[in-house]
Chain A
Amino acid sequence: MTVLLVGYSDLQEQVLLADAIETRGHEVLNCDVRDWPGGPPITLTPGSSEALLGTQFDYDDITGAYIHHSLLFQPYESRFTDQLTDDLIPVLNQLREHRSIFQSLSRILEDHGADVIPPFHNYGFQDRKPWQLHLYDLNNLHIPDTVFTNDPDELRSFYDTHERVIYKPVTRGGGPHELTDDDLTQERLEKLATAPIQLQEYVPGDDIRIYILNGEVIGAMRYESDQFSFKLDLKNGDRDSIDIHAATISEDIATTVTRAAKQARLIFTAADVRRRQDGTYSLLELNETPRFAAAHTHIGQDIAGQLAEFLLE
């Protein structure tokens, strides 16, 4: 059996997953998208049972695929910055054409019965955060009060009606920041016109990340960081440091995150939750290709192994 991995071949998650598959005696087709544009031959022929991505393979030999959609020739990747600066439209077209090959390959593999993570319908899942949170709220899952807006009046109103407010991008880019009186000047508020933002009530407590695969919780960790997180509590020391601990979660949280994954139709995901000291919690988001190397490497949660088993079924 063979599993196709698409992304960066030296990405920790891709390395761990490849190892887990190979130690089970199966083959990995490890595809590094940085080989293109300009890399080995790519050929997809409608009607053929085979494809060529540098290496030729038969669709029916692929039992599963793990595809990092966020690395599929996206214009925001820094490796394209210089080309985009010099030759904007041709390079955008070039990236779109390559993206189409890999997105189509994903659909073809699904049609041939492979388990593809994430499924095509979840590509760009995190770029639809307003819908994601709307979905959870619609299903009575606990989320923080949130609004997405470019309206200064809406911002002021949200600020006035919540004790502490976080602002962060609608999708990706910058980290979370706390909204303060200094942000309410006319000069600051005029900048909302460049892009809508996400405003969210601050939820005190621990950052919990919970891994879910095929409807089951397969790992959970608590982490402390002043970076890359919704957590704003200041932490002394190295700004790059992050402390990770295995976490146990209540049945209520497990039910909430597995329900959220089901509603979002995510096969594998990580749910980010803020858990208060009294055990109550808020679900912040789910991620379609979550990082899991830290949980795997530091606290021995065999996320890669469980993923491998699933992709080999």
Chain B
Amino acid sequence: MDHFIADLDTDDVAEVERRTNAAGDNISGIALVVF
């Protein structure tokens, strides 16, 4: 399906996990302000 909002199907939860994991020990706030 082609939405007007192209990234509507982004999985918020998975994205938060990915960014948090990518930050490793240096939790630079990645996605930590989301939701």
Contact = CB atoms under 8 A, between A and B. Distances in A.
Interface of A: 12, 70-71, 74, 76-78, 81, 126, 167-169, 172-175, 177, 183, 188-189, 191-192, 194-195, 197, 209, 223, 225, 227-229, 240-244, 287, 289-294, 297-298
Contacts of B14: 77-78
Q: What secondary structure prevails in chain A residues at the interface with B?
A: mixed
Interface in B3-32: 3-14, 16, 19-20, 22-23, 27-32
Interface centre among A175, A188, A192, A240 (most CB of B within 10 A): A240
Interface of B: 1-14, 16, 19-20, 22-23, 27-35
B8 A240 contact: no
A228 B5 contact: no
A228 B35 CA distance: 9
Contacts of B35: 70, 126, 287, 289-291
A195 B8 CA distance: 10
B19 A291 contact: no
A261 B3 CA distance: 32
A172 B8 CA distance: 8
A195 B5 CA distance: 9
Contacts of A192: 4
B20 A12 contact: yes
A70 B29 contact: no
B13 A293 contact: no
17 contacts: A76-B11, A78-B11, A126-B35, A168-B5, A174-B5, A174-B7, A174-B10, A175-B7, A189-B4, A194-B3, A197-B5, A228-B31, A229-B33, A241-B28, A242-B29, A242-B33, A298-B28
